[in-house]
Chain A
Amino acid sequence: MAHDRKFRFGVMCSHAASAADFREKARNAEALGYSTLFVPDHFIDHPLAPMPAMATAAAVTDTLRIGSLVLGNDYKHPVVLAREAATLDLLSDGRLEVGLGAGWMTADYEKAGLELDRPGVRIDRLEESVAILKGLMADQPCTFHGKHYTVTDLDGQPKPVQQPHPPFIIGGGGPKILGLGAREADIVGINANLRGGVAISDDTARSMTGVATDEKLARLRAAAGDRFDELEIQSFVGFTNFTDDRRALAEMMASAFGVAPEEALEIPVVLAGTLEEMIDDVYTRRERWGMSYVVVGVDVMEQFAPAVARLAGT
């Protein structure tokens, strides 16, 4: 079924000062009209583990959806992950969105002593994981013999409430991961190419210009074929800056990242300006790239809420 491309919004929450603080954030996100609270998955700088945090957020809200953005596939075996995701979908009465990535942050692998394979291998492994997750969430027992995982006649338990499975979000920036998203995901997150293993660099910035994003969408469209119209396109806006002078900010970003100022403001992980300017950008990006699912950081949740109130569901 074709996706209607109506706007919805998520909030990314990686920190909480206390249990009370986290509960309040989740309830606030729900009250402000956000669709989804997302939790990231890293071993540094992101002090909430996604599974218990998502479970808690679901428990203290009624309609708020919960999701991972994204789980690093290499940190858990897919059979473990399938059981956790299905349990969470069941216990949240069908409010889970499973965001999955191939794993990219070098520090995660170093800290935990995991081998950081080259991207192609990590993406192959993710592809196998997706097949296993879908297999275990389906009615029939799952058998899967891959290069990385072997599952034999296993009936996954529990079964998720959302059928055939909770929406899968696959996010990335390179052609191979976008190809996987095109074939297997329900929601595709358009990100920077993170081949350098760090979030902020010239390379990641240049991989996110308007022109580069045009290319990503073209690739996604080609890879998805008939599926493209069904995909929901997501953008995580990691840099949100409310200012009356976005030109000055653009120039600062431009010199920091080696792009032109007008390019800086097109970067879909950036929203800079007044609320009205941001709303214009959000519209423009939906027209240009189909990005109808916009995620902002929890620190700007309240400031951005008027945009959510205006746009959500339209």
Chain B
Amino acid sequence: MAHGRTFRFGVQSGGASSAREWREEARKIEDLGYSTLFMPDHFIDTPFAPMVGIAMAAEATESLRVGTLVLGNDYKHPAVVAKEFATLDVLSDGRVEAGIGAGWMRTDYDALGLRYDLPGIRIDRLAEALAVLKGAWGPEPFSFEGEHYNITSYDGLPKPVQQPHPPILVGGGGRKLLTLAAREADIIGFTPVARTGEVTTEQARETLPATWTEKFQWVREAAGERFDDLELQIRYFFAAITDDRRGLAEAAAPAFGISADEALQSGVALVGTVDECCDLLVQRREEWGVSYIAFGDNEYEAFAPVVARLAGA
């Protein structure tokens, strides 16, 4: 079914310092009109395990959706991931969004003592994992024989509440990954590629129009007729409500190795007054088809007026 491209908003949060704070944050995100609370999946500088954190957030709220942005596929076996998402989908009455990526942050691999394979291998493994997830969530026992995973007549339990399965969000930025996402995902989260396995100024350059806009073209080409069904998401890493967008960009840009003008054109920058930010989101939805907007936990409160104006529109 064609996606309506109505706006919705999410928050990516790494956690809180206590159970009470975490419940309060989840409720506040819900109250401000956000659709979804996402948790990232890293082993350094990110306090919570996402599967546990989002389970708690779901229980603390009524209608807030919960998801991962995104799980690193290599950190858990997909049969385990399928079971955990399905359990959470049942226990949250169908509020889960299953975000997954190929894994990129080298420190995660170091933490786990895992080999940091070439991107192509990691993406192949993700492709297989997506098949395993869908198979486990399907109505029948399934088998899968891949290069990386072998599943034998496995009837995954429980079955998720959302049918045929919770929305699968695939996040990434390279052509191979986005091609996979275009074919298999329900939601695509666009991010710059971290080729070196860490965050560098190279990613900021990649979000400039010349390299950023071609990502949407890749997805359009690979998705074919599916394109209209896909929901497209951007997590805004440089986001602020301000009367002085120019001044803020000038202050922030040098750290990313780009000019202030470039910073304001970045595909992951949303800086300005509430009116300016709303206008830019509407414009980008027309140009790129992006209707699902995510912020970090330091910015979501400031963007509440944007959410109030655009959510559901």
Contacts and interface: CB of A to CB of B under 8 A. Distances in A.
Interface of A: 16, 18-19, 22, 43-49, 51-53, 55-56, 58-60, 75-77, 79-80, 83-84, 86-88, 90-93, 110-114, 149-152, 154, 157-158
A18 B86 CA distance: 12
Most B CB contacts (10 A, CB to CB) among A53, A149, A150 go to A53
Interface string B50-61: 011101101110
A84 B59 contact: no
Contacts of B153: 111
A149 B156 CA distance: 28
B1 interface: no
Contacts of A18: 90, 93
Given A75-B80, A76-B76, A154-B111, A53 B49 contact: no
A150 B47 contact: no
Contacts of A114: 77
25 contacts: A18-B90, A19-B93, A22-B91, A43-B156, A47-B87, A49-B83, A49-B86, A51-B84, A52-B52, A52-B55, A52-B91, A55-B52, A75-B80, A76-B80, A77-B76, A80-B75, A83-B49, A87-B15, A87-B48, A87-B53, A90-B48, A91-B22, A112-B154, A150-B113, A152-B113
Contacts of B158: 47-48
A93 B156 CA distance: 32
Contact of A92 (B19, B44, B154): B19
A58 B90 CA distance: 16
Contacts of A49: 80, 83-84, 86-88
A48 B88 CA distance: 9
Contacts of A110: 152
Contacts of B83: 43, 49
B150 A154 contact: no
Contacts of A111: 79, 151-154
A52 B154 contact: no
B291 interface: no
B51 A51 contact: yes
Contact of B151 (A46, A76, A90, A113): A113
A126 B188 CA distance: 38
A44 B79 CA distance: 11
Most buried by B among A53, A86, A88, A113: A113
B152 A113 contact: yes
Contacts of B87: 47-49, 52-53
A56 B55 contact: yes
Nearest to A157: B47
A308 B111 CA distance: 44
A53 B52 CA distance: 9
